[in-house]
Amino acid sequence: MEKPRKVLRGELALVFAVIINSFGVVLMLQSQSGISAISSVPYAFSEVLPQLSLGTWTYIFQGLLIASLFVLRRKIVPEYLLSFAVGFCFGIFVDLHESWVQLLPQSLPLDVLYFAVSYLLIAFGIALSNRCRMPITPTDLFPRELAAIAKVRYSRIKIAFDVICLLVTVCLTFICLGRIMGLGAGTVIAALTMGKAIGIIGEALDRHVAFVSVFDHSGRNHA
């Protein structure tokens, strides 16, 4: 007999996901292994145009992703607008975490630890976001919705999305600054493997928990 799954509130899961994902993004950058792919484009813009913070560029980039989904769907989807609101909060948390994470001590073993923790936090946070039955950050929403629109497995879309973000970052920083910034071995590892990691974590979540929220009628699991 299959063990019943624990039911959790999606609203709380979303808040938790936003906090740990924003922390994971900043911690990965602190590890000096490179920034996560989903934040590499905002990071590149924050280096090229430092008048705006990383968090501000983050929700500008997310706004562009939402606009792209409107074009692909050929209609205005209210859930996407709510997703942008979540993305705005995500950007604020990025700036908040960046203000204190830079104070963490650094050494080679600690950098490896920071990368491992950030990788797991981001993968878990995205898998959680995809299941919380709430509007999620646009950087998580975009590959999920694109997978549904294109009818392609989420992990494939996620990896392709991350690789494209990295290519944009490479071109932008190299052309504008004369050198590649924000990318490292950790960035490449995460871009090539995180889609699969999210899928594995998501399957584990599906076996043990289920989520309910005020948006149950629009909840979908794709990872």
Per-residue pLDDT of 144-165, as tens digits, reads 899 989 888 888 888 888 889 9
Q: What is the pLDDT of residue 219?
A: 43
Phi/psi of residue 7, nearest 5 degrees: -95, 125
Question: Reduced to 3 states, what is the DSSP secondary structure of residue 178?
Answer: coil
**Nearest Cα to Cα of residue 139 among 88, 182, 187:** 88
* Residue corresponding to tokens 């920083």: 173
Q: What is the pLDDT of residue 222?
A: 47
What span, in angstroms and rounded, lies between the C-alpha atoms of 201 and 195? Answer: 10
Residues of the chain with pLDDT under 50: 218-222
The domain limits of the chain are: 7-210
Rg (CA), the chain: 17
Share of the chain above pLDDT 70, in %: 96
Largest CA distance in the chain: 61
Answer for the pair 89, 18: CB distance below 8 angstroms, yes or no.
yes
Question: What residues pair up with 212 in beta bridges, in sequence order?
Answer: 9
Phi/psi of residue 103, nearest 5 degrees: -85, -10
What span, in angstroms and rounded, lies between the C-alpha atoms of 181 and 169? Answer: 8
CB atoms closer than 10 angstroms to residue 15: 15
Alpha helix ranges (H) inside the chain: 10-30, 37-48, 54-73, 78-101, 108-129, 138-150, 154-177, 185-208
What span, in angstroms and rounded, lies between the C-alpha atoms of 32 and 112? Answer: 9
